[in-house]
């Protein structure tokens, strides 16, 4: 059974306006993180020019942020599980804003890479803690949707925040985009302090014991591998979307925010759909979205030279990917056992391995001379590998005949793990 969230020091709202406003405040943090993470991709050509490196080399800035997420999740989760959760959220978002400002001020490639790495450290821990707080504020039957609502902030960022910040970066310089996101971090701090009730950490948690339990579970490793490899396909194409639109599609730079808007709309729709599909089957949603992702990457490769025809494909790419993200989050929390704090956060570490892997492999094929369409084929291969890992996970569930609990705290029927 999934353990209950830690008790609150104040009676937490379980519905109505206080609950909705608290979850909205948490989602604004997701909006801030989503805007910051993805605006780099829309401005990558300008960043490359600004720090005097090639675009594939500038892609390492994306990978540095992702690596920061991967490193930050286990370290911060290990030391912070027992801390009051509202104060922890405020501290994480304050640090996020500071390193956005350092990114804006970076005068060299090395300093920018370092700033992006440190900015990534709070990312996964924020989402993990925010997910636990949202779940603790919701009625038991609404926990999955409460978590999806926090994740929705990241998706909405790609509808509003990323296109807007990209526009700012194109007209005022790429550094201005990071100043803007630092301001969003400050706004999040104010909203969390104002509207999120005080929620105590779990004093019974032992970071070493929780880590030992979490990392000893085979299904944990398989779930994280499915996210780290399978979701890398989306980042292989997303990281180089600006140049794909202009150089391959033949459109002018001013159209890039529209394609980022399509990416964001796809994320928003996919996050909502992922929450709905979780009520049907978390595992089947994961499996079928991964299969569909491999197929849409091939379509992306085929359609890329045809300008505006790429727009609906971009929408589908992130819509399908976001179904995967939401259900990976729920699946990892389910298989974590008593290490739910770490499980809530490690999904973001896995996804940012995907971010780094996709951007890196996409840069390799571009640098090798295969062009900006080639990352889509890399993406198809990564998504297909994710399907294989999920099938491995299903086979392991069948062998043990003892699947993980589902998001509503019921034991997962072994049939649910069957493709």
**For 338-364, what is each residue's pLDDT tens digit?**
776 677 677 777 887 887 788 888 888
More reliable by pLDDT, 255 or 205: 255
- 18/151 Cα distance (integer angstroms): 19
More reliable by pLDDT, 200 or 245: 245
- 326/330 Cα distance (integer angstroms): 7
What's the 3-state SS for 97-151? Answer: HHHHHHHHHCCCHHHHHHHHHHHHHHHHHHHHHHHHHHHHHCCHHHHHHHHHHHH
The tokens for 51 are 């720090």
Assign 405 to helix, strand or coil. strand
The tokens for 393 are 């996970």
**Cα dihedral 366, 370, 374, 378 sign:** negative
| Out of 49-53, 130-134, 135-139, 305-309, least confident range | 135-139
pTM above 0.75, yes or no: no
Task: Give the chain's radius of gyration (CA, Å).
Answer: 20
Which residue, among 126, 134, 190, has the nearest Cα to 8 in the 3D structure?
A: 134
- For 395, residues 6+ apart whose C-beta sits below 8 A from its C-beta are none
**For 126-160, what is each residue's pLDDT tens digit?**
887 887 788 777 776 666 677 777 877 877 887 88
Residue 141: per-residue pLDDT: 63
Q: What would the DSSP string read from start to end of 255-299?
A: GHHHHHHHHHHHHHHHHHHHHHHHHH-HHHHHHHHHHHHHHHHHH
Q: Over the chain, what is the mean pLDDT?
A: 79
- Structural domains present in the chain: 16-417 (1.20.1250.20)
- 29/181 Cα distance (integer angstroms): 11
- 395/410 Cα distance (integer angstroms): 20
- 129/409 Cα distance (integer angstroms): 19
**For 84-110, what is each residue's pLDDT tens digit?**
788 889 999 999 999 999 999 998 899
């Amino acid at each position: 059974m999934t353990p209950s969230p830690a008790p609150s020091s104040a009676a937490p709202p379980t519905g109505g306006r206080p609950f909705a406003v608290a979850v909205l405040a948490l989602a604004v943090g997701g909006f801030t993180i989503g805007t910051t993470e993805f605006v780099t991709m829309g401005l990558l050509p300008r960043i490359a020019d600004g720090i005097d490196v090639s675009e594939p080399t500038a892609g390492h800035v994306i990978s540095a942020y992702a690596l920061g997420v991967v490193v930050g999740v286990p370290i911060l989760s290990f030391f912070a599980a027992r801390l009051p959760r509202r104060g922890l959220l405020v501290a994480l978002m304050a640090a996020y804003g500071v390193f956005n400002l350092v990114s804006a001020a970076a005068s060299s490639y090395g300093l920018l890479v370092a700033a992006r790495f440190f900015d990534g450290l709070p990312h996964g821990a924020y989402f993990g803690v925010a997910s636990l707080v949202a779940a603790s504020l919701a009625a038991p039957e609404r926990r999955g949707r409460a978590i999806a609502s926090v994740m929705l902030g990241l998706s909405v960022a790609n509808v509003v925040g990323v296109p807007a910040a990209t526009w700012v970066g194109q007209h005022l310089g790429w550094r201005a985009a990071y100043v803007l996101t630092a301001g969003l971090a400050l706004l999040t701090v104010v909203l969390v302090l104002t509207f999120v009730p005080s929620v105590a950490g779990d004093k019974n948690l032992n970071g070493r014991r929780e880590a030992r339990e979490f990392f000893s579970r085979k299904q944990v490793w398989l779930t994280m591998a499915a996210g780290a490899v399978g979701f890398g396909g989306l980042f292989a194409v997303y990281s180089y979307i600006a140049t794909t639109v202009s150089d391959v599609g033949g459109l002018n730079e001013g159209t890039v925010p529209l394609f980022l808007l399509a990416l964001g709309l796809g994320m928003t729709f996919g996050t909502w759909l992922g929450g709905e599909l979780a009520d049907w089957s978390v595992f089947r949603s994961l499996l079928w979205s991964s299969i569909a992702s491999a197929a849409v990457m091939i379509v992306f490769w085929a359609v890329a030279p045809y300008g505006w025809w790429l727009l609906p494909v971009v929408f589908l790419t992130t819509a399908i990917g976001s179904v995967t993200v939401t259900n990976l989050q729920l699946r990892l929390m389910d298989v974590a056992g008593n290490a739910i704090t770490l499980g809530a956060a490690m999904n973001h570490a896995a996804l940012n391995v995907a971010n780094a892997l996709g951007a890196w492999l996409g840069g390799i094929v571009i640098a090798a001379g295969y062009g900006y369409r080639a990352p889509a084929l890399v993406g198809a291969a990564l998504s297909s590998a994710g399907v294989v890992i999920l099938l491995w996970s299903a086979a392991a569930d069948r062998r043990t005949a003892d699947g993980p609990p589902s998001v509503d705290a019921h034991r997962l029927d072994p049939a649910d793990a069957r493709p």
